[in-house]
Amino acid sequence: MRAVIDRFEETYAVVLVGTQEVELHIPKEELPPESKEGSVLSMGFSLDIQGEVQQREKVSSLLNKLKQKQLWVNPSLAVPTMKSALSTWVCGSHLMHG
């Protein structure tokens, strides 16, 4: 995939990606040192299986913390699944009363 450095801001470069020129902000230190305005970058993607596992563990941990917090605040929210707990929290009185 092709990307072009449009300009530099304080700590990042504004990079236009692909034919639709989607704007991304990339930290300057992530770019090759010789990069300048107008430089064309080649971008690619690859799967990071270990990173995905770590991300899933992080999300699971955060959901468990949320579940414990909700149970501590209101024990009547004890439900058999996390999906039900989140549904109860989102659809329940938590949002309706501000």
Per-residue exposure over 66-96, b if at least 16 CB sit within 10 Å of its own CB, e if not:
ebeebeeeeeebeeeeeeebeebbeeeeeee
Q: Do 85 and 75 touch, CB atoms closer than 8 A?
A: no
This model's pTM is above 0.85? no
Give me the pLDDT at residue 94, please. 47
3 state DSSP class of 25: strand
How confident is the model over 31-85, as pLDDT tens digits? 999 999 999 999 998 999 999 999 999 999 999 888 887 766 665 655 555 555 5
Q: In which residue are the tokens 């209101």 written? A: 74
For position 98, what pLDDT does the model report? 44
Contacts 24+ apart (CB under 8 A), 70-73: none
Domain spans, the chain? 2-42, 65-98
pLDDT at 68: 82
Phi, psi of 67, rounded to the nearest 5 degrees? -60, -45
| Residue 29 or residue 88, greater confidence | 29
Flag whether pLDDT at 95 surpasses 80. Answer: no
